[in-house]
Structure formats: C-alpha cells, structure tokens
Copies of this chain bind each other. A is one copy, B any other.
Amino acid sequence: MLTFDEYQQRVIAAVRPLPPRSVAATDATGLLGLVTAEPLRSRVPLPGFTNSAMDGYAVLAADIRGAAADSPVSLPVTGDIPAGDTRSLRLEPGTCWRIMTGAPLPDGADAVVQVELTDGGTDTVAIREAVDAGCAIRHRGEDLEPGDEVLPAGTLLLPRHVPALLSAGVQEISVIPRPRVAIVSTGDELVEPGQQPGHGQVVDSNGPMLAALATECGFEVVAVRRVGDTGDEVREVLTELAAAADVIVTSGGVSAGAFEPLKLAFEGSGSFDFVKVAMQPGKPQGFGNLDGTAVFALPGNPVSSLVSFLVFVAPATRVLAGRDPQLATVGARVAEHWVSPPGRQQFARVIFDENGSVVRPIGGQGSHVLGGLAGSQALAIVPADTTEVAVGEALQVIPLEGLA
C-alpha cells in the first residue's frame, strides 16, 4: 500500500508540460487559462504617441508663465483635438488647442492645462494658473519601449492580462496548449444519459461528471465514451483515444472483483501500475502510459471518482498545462466531530458553515451517494494518522467550486 503523497508524487512526476505552440494573440478569450511559454515583449512603444492625460488645453508652458486667478492669460484656441484625431498638428507659440484625454499632443506644445483651471472657452480661453512644461502629458514610450517585457514566461493568462497582450503589437504568442482529456466509463451495466435503464442497468453519470470536472479545471474534453467489461474492448478504445488525447481518464474496473476490465486489459503489460493507496475514498488506483498518453484508471464509485480526479488527474494534467499542480486549498475549522479510518488519508465531504471558514461533515440526506456528493461543498483533508476529527481542529479543505 502506497501513502497518498507517494502516489500523488508518482503521477505528478510521470508527466511533463506539453510542447508550446504559437497561437494568434488576438483571440483573448480563447487564451484564457493558458500559460505563456516565453516572455511576451512589446513590439511597439506604449503609449504609441505623446498624448494628453487630461481634458484641457495644449499650450507652450512659457506662454502662460504669469497666469494666476487675478491675472489670467488669454490665448486664442486654434481648434479641437479629440481622441482619435489622426492629423499631424502644430502649436504656434502664443496660441493653444483644446484637447481631450488620450488625444495626440500637437508638435510644439509642451504642457496641458486641465479644463478646470480655465474658463473653458472655445474661441479664446482664459487660463487662471501657470503649469510646468510636461504637465499632464504622457510621453511616447514612457510605459514600454519596444523589446520591453510585458508578461514573463509562465504567466497564466487571465482577463487582467488582456490589455497588455493586445497592446504589445504582437500577432502570435507561444503558449502551452490546453491538455486534451478523454473520458471512458467502464461497465456492462451502463446506459447513456437520457436512456431508460432496464433491469440491472444504470445511467452512466460518472462519465459526464468527470467531463464536467475536466471542463471546470480548464482542460479540453475531446471524448466521453462508455465501454463494456472486456479487456479487449477497453484496450481497443483506449488505444484509439490515445492518438487524440493527452490524458485518458477511466472509471471502474480497477478493484478486486472477478471482472475488472482495466486490469484484464493492462495488468502485467508493463505500461500500467495497479496499486492500493492509503486513502479513503479511492483506495484502488491505476496509472499507465499508452503511446505517450497518461491514463488514469479511477475507481467507479462516483465519490471515489470525483476525489481521485481532483487529487490525481487534475494535478498531473495541470502540469501538462504548464501550471502548478495543486488545486487551491483553504484553511477551515471543524464544527462537528467525525471519524476517519486509521492509516488512511481521508477526503471527507463537508459543508461550509455560514462564515465560510468552518466546516462540518455532510449528514442527513447526504448519507446516500448521490445526495452526499451533490450536497458537499468541499473535501476536508484528514491526515492518515488522525482517527478522530475533533471540534475546533484546523484542516485544509479543497473547495468544490471554482476549480479553474
């Protein structure tokens, strides 16, 4: 029997980030959740032209040196420069232009007087305060010069990176692609969701649940399949999927029964390990490699599948995506006692108390599998040497919302 940490480290160590790929930088939404493979450097100066930081009047500072509230300086207004004005304009000494925030500064001007320091005139303006040269001006290249780094390598692209990404003037960006995940449920008893199960049959809900988890973790789901309980069928379908997926996740067929199709297909093949892990739930686990595709063979109980996905599949697949392996955990205090099996690291389904940092075990209608899974809000991590989880104890928990 492996400890939880031993097995988690083993599956994480077995994978490497996917090779980077160059993609269009303009598809900002499509890039969300991807990791940059090299530093993004600006191709352009930013700002791209010297412009006004205020709504006001572009002037030569020397022209208004004596301006004051009791002795305003009047200047003729040559015209308006709105944002987006593409003309190349000049300021003649002794005149001014009315200018808007972000509009290009006319050549010859060296300051902007904000409108609040003037009478707002459109033919002639009275300026009531002197300003220094450089006032309210954003100079070309003052934020970034061409070649400056905009985002370091290894940046997980989020909405806040979009302005930098789109303003840098690059057409393509090198990123680690989104890992492609194929899901396979095993079991002769399974029917497709939406079908009426006959005697002895059940709806396959594990496959869609694992697909939903993979989607929420930011991976690309490329297939959701069901296979029967023969080793031949499992081998055939998994070999086919390995050509189109970076990760295959199966559920069922790894325990100790007489018909365990993952074991029938791969035990003794040299490319698979079937192990027992000192954890609850999720003790029987399989991990293999098919033509370079990582295969996670998870136990079939829905709770075991969900836990195994979050603590083994998600971390390893995040490594493929160039990310830190671990999902976020938060600290919480225990509000109600529960027990944990000796020698096994428990992932207990818990709900948050109102303040969000206190947890209690799920009970009541949560005692059956579907209700207990649907009603739980987090997995509390109980160390293997703990058998009684006491009120007030501090634990780390994995929230089941916001997995990206």
- Distance between Cα atoms of A151 and B371 in the complex (Å): 8
Interface locus among A124-132, A164-172, A240-248, A266-274: A164-172
- The listed residue (B150, B203, B306, B400) touching A374 by CB distance below 8 A is B150
Q: Which of A19-59 contact B (CB under 8 A)?
A: 24-26, 28-29, 32, 46-49, 51, 55
Q: Within the complex, what minimum Cβ distance (angstroms) separates A147 from chain B?
A: 14
Q: Which residues of B contact A194 (CB under 8 A)?
A: 24-26, 171
Interface residue? A13 (CB, 8 A): no
Q: Which residues of B contact A364 (CB under 8 A)?
A: none
Residue-wise, chain A 172-197 has the 8 Å CB interface mask toward B (1 for contact) of 00000000000000011110011011
Residue contact B84 to A201, C-beta cutoff 8 Å: yes
Residue contact A29 to B193, C-beta cutoff 8 Å: no
Residue contact A163 to B28, C-beta cutoff 8 Å: no
Smallest CB-CB separation from A403: which chain B residue?
A: B159
Residue contact B46 to A370, C-beta cutoff 8 Å: yes
Residue contact A200 to B103, C-beta cutoff 8 Å: yes
User: In terms of DSSP, what is the predominant structure of the interface of chain A?
Assistant: loop
- The listed residue (B49, B85, B200) touching A104 by CB distance below 8 A is B200
Interface residue? A61 (CB, 8 A): no
Given A55-B258, A166-B193, the answer on whether A143 and B370 have CB atoms closer than 8 Å is: yes
Residue-wise, chain A 60-98 has the 8 Å CB interface mask toward B (1 for contact) of 000000000000000000001011111110000000001
Residue contact A163 to B205, C-beta cutoff 8 Å: yes
- Distance between Cα atoms of A203 and B48 in the complex (Å): 10
Q: Which residues of B contact A197 (CB under 8 A)?
A: 48
Given A48-B197, A166-B205, the answer on whether A401 and B144 have CB atoms closer than 8 Å is: no
Interface residue? A255 (CB, 8 A): yes
- Distance between Cα atoms of A51 and B185 in the complex (Å): 20
Having A28-B193, A88-B199, A115-B256, one finds 17 other A-B pairs with CB under 8 Å, namely A24-B194, A29-B211, A32-B215, A51-B200, A82-B229, A84-B200, A85-B200, A100-B257, A102-B189, A102-B202, A144-B370, A158-B216, A159-B216, A160-B306, A160-B400, A165-B205, A166-B208
A-B contact pairs, 22 of them (CB 8 A): A24-B194, A25-B193, A28-B209, A28-B212, A48-B202, A49-B199, A55-B258, A82-B258, A84-B187, A84-B228, A86-B200, A98-B258, A100-B257, A102-B187, A102-B189, A144-B371, A150-B371, A159-B212, A163-B369, A164-B374, A166-B205, A404-B404
